[in-house]
Amino acid sequence: MEYQDFLDEVANLGFVKSQDEADSMIKAVLGIMCNRMSQEDASKLTADLPEPLTMDKLRTRQPTPLVIGVQEYIREVQMQFHISGEQARVLVDTVMSL
């Protein structure tokens, strides 16, 4: 799958205003996930993703993963983009299904 496919799918969500916002949302959803995993698991997650969705670009350098629950994860996405909880769930589901 090409990165443009990711952008198109997320940009088509009713609450996403532009492809630039879609780009930020995709990177944030995957970045938050990568930072909550071990380096090995993050590497597996990003192995088949297109540029620019590489582990080096998505994962910040941390000695240990920051473990959070699903609700906290959704809330972090919601707060970062000032969207509703339901919109955050739809966004996360969409990005993860791609």
Rounded to 5°, the CA angle 49-33-47 comes to 25
Q: Contact 36/46 with Cβ under 8 angstroms? A: no
Other beta carbons less than 10 A from residue 92's beta carbon = 21
- Tell me how far apart the alpha carbons of residues 33 and 66 are, in angstroms, rounded to a whole number: 10
Q: Contact 31/59 with Cβ under 8 angstroms? A: yes
Of the ranges 20-24, 43-47, 79-83, which one carries the lowest mean pLDDT score?
43-47
pLDDT in tens, 8-43: 999 999 999 999 999 999 999 999 888 888 888 888
